[in-house]
Amino acid sequence: MTVKLVVGLDGADTGDRALAFAKELAGRIGECELVLAYVIEWSPFTFQTPEENATRHKRREEELTTANERVIDPALAELKDAGFTASGVVRHGDVAETLNAITLEQNGAQIIVGRASAGGISKRIFGSATQNLVMHADVPVTVVA
């Protein structure tokens, strides 16, 4: 039976560390598939002008394309060159909720993410995406420092 690990990438070194850990873990597991996930933070509750709404769909599609080209595709190529089975997903949404949803859709056994070091008032009020994921995920979450 193939074990699926979902790896949350962010286009930064935190995602790189999560991916490195996932590769090591997948190597130990053996029959394993890595699902690379990149979530573009987006809220449907943002208030916008009619002009902004007119270009919103186009902008979202451009963001998906850019995320695939800059983050997912290079990581997939590296994994496949190293002999790993891997796939990629890019979505808009709340990071914690969307990573959990992707994991459930893919029948993932675990989520692996990097620990972000960002701070500030918004983190203290709302919490970080990583904290929210750990608290609410339906599968085990590994946070890589």
* Residue 73 within any structural domain of the chain: yes
pLDDT tens digit string along 91-115?
A: 999 999 999 999 999 999 999 999 8
Of 10 and 51, the one with more pLDDT: 10
pLDDT for 72 equals 97
Of 126 and 16, the one with more pLDDT: 16
pLDDT for 117 equals 53
CA 145/CA 99 separation, integer angstroms: 18
* Residue 143 within any structural domain of the chain: yes
Residue type, 53: N
H/E run at residue 35: strand 32-41
Split at pLDDT 50, 70, 90, the class of 19 is very high
User: End-to-end CA distance of the chain, in Å?
Assistant: 29
* Residue 69 within any structural domain of the chain: yes
Instruction: Note down the domain range covering 142.
Output: 27-37+58-106+138-145
Number of domains within the chain: 1
* Residue 87 within any structural domain of the chain: yes
* Residue 18 within any structural domain of the chain: no
* Residue 53 within any structural domain of the chain: no
pLDDT tens digit string along 40-97?
A: 987 666 666 777 767 887 888 899 999 999 999 999 999 999 999 999 999 999 999 9
* Residue 74 within any structural domain of the chain: yes
If you search the block for the tokens 């983190």, which residue do you land on?
123
pLDDT for 137 equals 96
CA-based torsion, 9, 130, 90, 52: positive or negative: negative
CA 12/CA 10 separation, integer angstroms: 5
Split at pLDDT 50, 70, 90, the class of 124 is very low
Split at pLDDT 50, 70, 90, the class of 128 is confident
CA 106/CA 102 separation, integer angstroms: 6
Of 118 and 31, the one with more pLDDT: 31
CA 109/CA 59 separation, integer angstroms: 33
CA 60/CA 6 separation, integer angstroms: 23
pLDDT for 7 equals 98
pLDDT for 122 equals 44
Nearest CA among 115, 89, 111 for reference residue 100: 111
